[in-house]
Every structure is written in structure tokens, then in C-alpha cells.
Amino acid sequence: MSSTSPAPITVSIRREVDPDRITEATAWVQTGVNLASRYAGFLGSGWVREGASSHHWHMLYRFADEPSLEAWEASSERAWWLAMGEEFVRSAETRRRTGIEGWFDEPSTETITVPNGTGSTTVVVAPSPPRWKQAVSIWLGFFPVNLVFTYLMSPVPGWNELPIWLRVITTTVVLTPIMTYWVLPWVTRSLRHWLNR
């Protein structure tokens, strides 16, 4: 079995910013981008406001893998930066997207503006894979895991005599974390070129 590289992790943040502190917030966001860019595994970042009078800001940053992201998120620089923004950032909603995560949102193409020191660059973030590809990916992970679990449990004394609802509950309780934390991330990493085609 060939090894696959870790899947990049994208963090999407929606922040509500005090509309009277736009200038400070703009400088604060750019400071965060500059700090994050110094960390190994940083793949890029961007932010955009919903409109000229809006106090909702959408921010996006990506790291090569979980350890790289954790190094940034646990850093003293990030803690200092977040503390700087407490006066004018009213609330924040964060989502992480890697592998199967984020697929339960409606597929969409997102355009973000990335400040680059000499102006800005528009970046288009690819839409989620089509639902049928998501379904195929989930089935490719679920079928073999469920089959193996069924074979392993069949010889267990009394297993086949249990009511079917109890066997299904047991199976799903055991297999859901295995699928979520190991199987689906591996499947989506293995199929990422096909999923994103």
C-alpha cells in the first residue's frame, strides 16, 4: 500500500467586527496573516468583508497538515495577536475543513481577497466535490470496514441471537469513530485528485 501525504487543513472564520474600528481591524488582520506566514506548513491566507458597510468579515487560512496548524494555533504569537483584537472583534465562528469535513454544506465556489503588500489578489476556492462523489467515497470506506466488523463479530457467542436493533446500535457505535478519525480521512486523501477534478 503506497503512503499518501497528509491532507491540507483549511480554517474558515467568520468574525463580527466593531464597524467603528475598521482601520484597526484591517491592520490587525494583516498582522495575523504576516505572523502565520512565518510558520512551517503555511499555505496561504485571505480575508474579505461582506460589503463596505458590513461588520462581518470572512477569513481563511490553510496549513499543510494538522501538526503545522497546531503549531500556529498554540503559538504565543497567535495568542498575543488574538488578545490585540479583543477590543474590536465581537464574536467569531470557526470551521475546519479537511477530507470529508465541510461536505455537508451546500457546494459553492468562494472568492476571497488576499492582501499581498502591493494591493490584493483574488483567489477562487474550489467548490466541494459533487454529492455523488461524496457518496462513493463514504461507501468505499464504510463497506470494507462494516464487512470486516461483521466477520469478526459472527463467531462471538450469542452475537447472532441478539435483536437486530441491538447489533446495529453496537456496530454503529463502534464503527462511527473509526470511520470519522481514520478511514474517511485516509479515503479522501487517497481520492483527493479524483474528488477535486
Looking only at the bridges linking them, the beta strands covering 89-97 and 9-17 are antiparallel
| DSSP characters over the chain | ----PPPPEEEEEEEEE-GGGHHHHHHHHHHHHHHHTTSTTEEEEEEEESSTT--EEEEEEEESSHHHHHHHHT-HHHHHHHHHHTTTEEEEEEEEE-TTTTTTSPP--EEEEEE-SSSEEEEEEPPPPPHHHHHHHHHHHHHHHHHHHHHHHTTSTTGGGS-HHHHHHHHHHHHHHHIIIIIHHHHHHHTHHHHT-
Q: Domain 9-125 classified CATH 3.30.70.100?
A: yes
pLDDT in tens, 7-42: 778 888 888 888 788 788 888 888 888 888 888 988
pLDDT, mean over the chain: 77
Residue 183: pLDDT band with limits 50, 70, 90: confident
Give the model confidence (pLDDT) of 126-170 as tens digits: 456 777 888 888 899 889 999 999 999 999 999 999 999 999 999
What Rg do the C-alpha atoms of the chain give, in angstroms? 21
- Domain(s) labelled CATH 3.30.70.100 in the chain stretch across 9-125
Single-letter amino acid, residue 81: W
Angle at 28 between CA 22 and CA 33, to 5 degrees: 125
Give the residue, 81 or 125, on which the prediction is more confident.
81
> Mean pLDDT throughout 96-106?
50
| Digit-coded pLDDT (tens) for 42-93 | 888 877 777 777 778 888 888 888 888 889 888 988 888 888 888 877 766 7
